[in-house]
Structure 1
Amino acid sequence: MNTGKPTLTLGPVPYLWEGEKWRDFYFRMADEAPVTDVVIGETVCSKRLHFTDPYFPPVIERLVVAGKRIVLSTLALVTLERESQYVRSLVADSPYPVEANDLSALALLEGEPHWIGPFINVYNAATARLLARRGASSICLPPELPASSIAEIVAGTPDTAFEVLAFGRMPLAISARCAHARAKGHIKDNCQFVCAEDPDGLPVKTLDPQSFLALNGVQTVSFTCQALLTELLDLVSIGVSRFRLSPQDCDVVAVASLYDDVLHGRTDAEGGIARLRQLYPAAPLSNGFHHGQEGAAWVARARNIGHRGAE
């Protein structure tokens, strides 16, 4: 079991943001956010690389100067030869650890220290141990796992760092087709990058109408935002050492500072939830999966754990 000091990880930006906005987001995270590791790269759609590629060198330089540890992410779905070539080049040329978010990357990474992202299904300790033997030093568990499963996997896989998605809309599915483009009257091959019009995802409504999902290009994410703020210290106690913040279109520096304060006992967890709702009012908060319920549910804690700081 990992007993090191718990840290915050910034996950890759999941949405299509204009290049300058993407760059400025990471510049500010480098200068102001209390995150230790930064996973950077395109996970959703390879066509978006056109917007961010020119800014990779200055962003990585800024993050390194700020003392952040860099991890480069692979795509979550590889369907084209150029995407396959991109992943192969990334693994071969990266001076930083690579996070695998698709099984196709695992063969390329075998024997090299690497991370496992939340898009790879790790549902039991046997899978986690297999991945660790192949070189995985850190595993971000899928957000749909309940706390009991997380505890079992962590306990059964010593000497591996485990991470959970503590903030952000949850990745639910990814497809070779683009429902986001179709919803706006386009096809994937001529999408005109309409997903940029929705920097926090396009809500999908039921006939009621109620928002229950969101489209993000070829990806489907939850409408609600997973927020494991009141669960942080319980997760630390079972051996989870990293907590991932998935960028949303809000003040992520303030979100990271809030999580850091709760994680280290400077802020009460229940009060922190009220503050988090102010920081990200675009989506309801949820923690249902963690408590064995439907993912969109919000389960209030029966006790306050915010007074205990992580050692």
Structure 2
Amino acid sequence: MTTHLTLGPVLFNWSPEKLKDFYFRIADEAPVHTVFLGEVVCSKRQPFFAPHLPEVAERLTAAGKRVIFSSLALVLTKREVDLVRDLCTMDDVMVEANDLSACAQLIGKPHAIGPFVNIYNEGTRKVFEDQGATHISLAGELSRKSLAALAKDAKADLEVQIFGRQPLAISARCYHARSYGLAKDSCKYVCEKHTDGMDLDTLDGDPFLAVNGLQTLSYTCANLIGELADMQSMGIRHFRLSPQDTDMVEVANLYRSVLDGIAEPQSATEKLDDLVEGMPFANGFYYATEGVKAKGQIEEFGI
């Protein structure tokens, strides 16, 4: 069966100009099948890129990419409720729901479920399938055993994130702003200073997590390039690349080359390591253990 690379929504606060250039290059050069567009993390960022969305979506569609619009992962205010409602009621648009409020509005029509909606067992997966979900991006913390169980008899297309910092939590509070002594409502958009998220250390000075506005991410970069064949054997055919501030076209080319049997995972990982400039890789969630103890093809990954 055919395998597809997908590009998840940009989680970070990139400038509108940078985002536009990024997506135009993805349209023209990247071997990805589906591109997810939209602000997922913070609604305050949404107005800056919104005027460019129609042009970007048109460019991607003209290049043969499938476009899906992603909803917010946390809905708190009336304005955010209205944003989600407006998105979910648009005609001829495929929506990825990242919050249950979006799921409720999409019942009865084809839609996607994002990784921020927790689907951990077959029963939950079936509920969403029965409501109209045709594409489900599974949470990054699921182990191989859980993925295999969910893939069995699945009607929806299942997707797993194989590259990029893993979303771990999202909060009503903006720790990014607080780290600069600012309140959430007067944050001055300081998250734009960290295009891959702001690294956090433990009190002992060890790298631990990353913060992206309201969002907490893994410090490490997920890399399941060595597990692609195993996931394909389960029946998983869609693999998500979560954008980082690097050459994502080359990232996509490397994963595609492994999927197509042109390159080996180890050699591709060595090239990926150069692209992320030493950000450590992780595959621990897949093996339900600390990454340094994982027994995959690339054993040195950290969690």
Quote the offset at 1:51 in angstroms.
1.8
Would the alpha carbon gap of residues 284 and 95 (structure 1) be closer, same or farther in structure 2, given more than 3 Å must change?
same
Quote the offset at 1:86 in angstroms.
0.4
In the alignment, structure 1 residue 59 sits paired with structure 2 residue 56 = yes
- Partners of 1:151 and 1:238 within 8 A in 2: yes
SS of the equivalent of 1:121 reads coil
Quote the offset at 1:137 in angstroms.
0.3
Aligned amino acid, residue 160 of structure 2: V
SS of the equivalent of 1:99 reads strand
Corresponding residue for 1:244? Answer: 240
- Give unmatched runs, 5+ long, in structure 1: 305-311
Q: Distance in 1 between matches of 2:219 and 2:94?
A: 31
- Partners of 2:176 and 2:190 within 8 A in 1: yes
Q: Distance in 1 between matches of 2:284 and 2:91?
A: 37
Q: Distance in 1 between matches of 2:251 and 2:293?
A: 19
* Equivalent of 1:19 in 2, 16, 21: 16
Would the alpha carbon gap of residues 195 and 297 (structure 1) be closer, same or farther in structure 2, given more than 3 Å must change?
farther
* Equivalent of 1:288 in 262, 284, 288: 284
Corresponding residue for 1:309? Answer: none
Corresponding residue for 1:120? Answer: 117
Quote the offset at 1:279 in angstroms.
1.1
Q: Distance in 2 between matches of 1:300 and 1:211?
A: 23
- Partners of 2:266 and 2:298 within 8 A in 1: no
* Equivalent of 1:188 in 181, 184, 191: 184
Q: Distance in 1 between matches of 2:8 and 2:276?
A: 17
Q: Distance in 1 between matches of 2:108 and 2:158?
A: 19
Corresponding residue for 2:136? Answer: 139
In the alignment, structure 1 residue 221 sits paired with structure 2 residue 214 = no
Q: Distance in 2 between matches of 1:160 and 1:207?
A: 44
- Partners of 1:137 and 1:160 within 8 A in 2: yes
Q: Distance in 2 between matches of 1:76 and 1:212?
A: 23
Quote the offset at 1:272 in angstroms.
1.1
Aligned amino acid, residue 24 of structure 1: D
Would the alpha carbon gap of residues 298 and 212 (structure 1) be closer, same or farther in structure 2, given more than 3 Å must change?
farther
In the alignment, structure 1 residue 273 sits paired with structure 2 residue 269 = yes
Q: Distance in 1 between matches of 2:118 and 2:286?
A: 16
Would the alpha carbon gap of residues 38 and 108 (structure 1) be closer, same or farther in structure 2, given more than 3 Å must change?
same
Q: Deviations over 1:56-97 (max 9, x none)?
A: 121111101101001000000000000000000001115321
In the alignment, structure 1 residue 171 sits paired with structure 2 residue 167 = yes
Q: Distance in 1 between matches of 2:56 and 2:293?
A: 36
Quote the offset at 1:47 in angstroms.
0.4
Corresponding residue for 1:299? Answer: 294
Aligned amino acid, residue 201 of structure 1: G
- Partners of 2:226 and 2:297 within 8 A in 1: no
Quote the offset at 1:302 in angstroms.
4.9
Aligned amino acid, residue 215 of structure 2: Q
Q: TM-score, normalised by structure 2?
A: 0.96
Quote the offset at 1:31 in angstroms.
0.3
Q: Distance in 1 between matches of 2:68 and 2:293?
A: 31
Q: Distance in 2 between matches of 1:284 and 1:303?
A: 12
- Partners of 1:102 and 1:119 within 8 A in 2: yes
Q: Percent identity?
A: 48
* Equivalent of 1:32 in 25, 29, 35: 29
Aligned amino acid, residue 40 of structure 1: L
SS of the equivalent of 1:96 reads coil
Q: Which moved more, 1:276-285 or 1:102-111?
A: 276-285
Quote the offset at 1:283 in angstroms.
1.7
Q: TM-score, normalised by structure 1?
A: 0.94
Question: Residues 201-216 of structure 1 correspond to what in structure 2 (within 5 A)?
Answer: 201-216=197-212
- Partners of 1:287 and 1:298 within 8 A in 2: no
Quote the offset at 1:303 in angstroms.
8.8
Q: Deviations over 1:10-48 (max 9, x none)?
A: 000000000000110000000000000001100000000
Quote the offset at 1:204 in angstroms.
0.7
- Give unmatched runs, 5+ long, in structure 2: none
Corresponding residue for 2:74? Answer: 77
- How many residues matched? 299
Corresponding residue for 2:90? Answer: 93
Quote the offset at 1:138 in angstroms.
0.7
SS of the equivalent of 2:44 reads helix
Q: Distance in 2 between matches of 1:250 and 1:11?
A: 14
In the alignment, structure 1 residue 255 sits paired with structure 2 residue 251 = yes
Q: Deviations over 1:78-127 (max 9, x none)?
A: 00000000000001115321000001111100001000100000100111
Q: Deviations over 1:185-204 (max 9, x none)?
A: 11100000000000110001
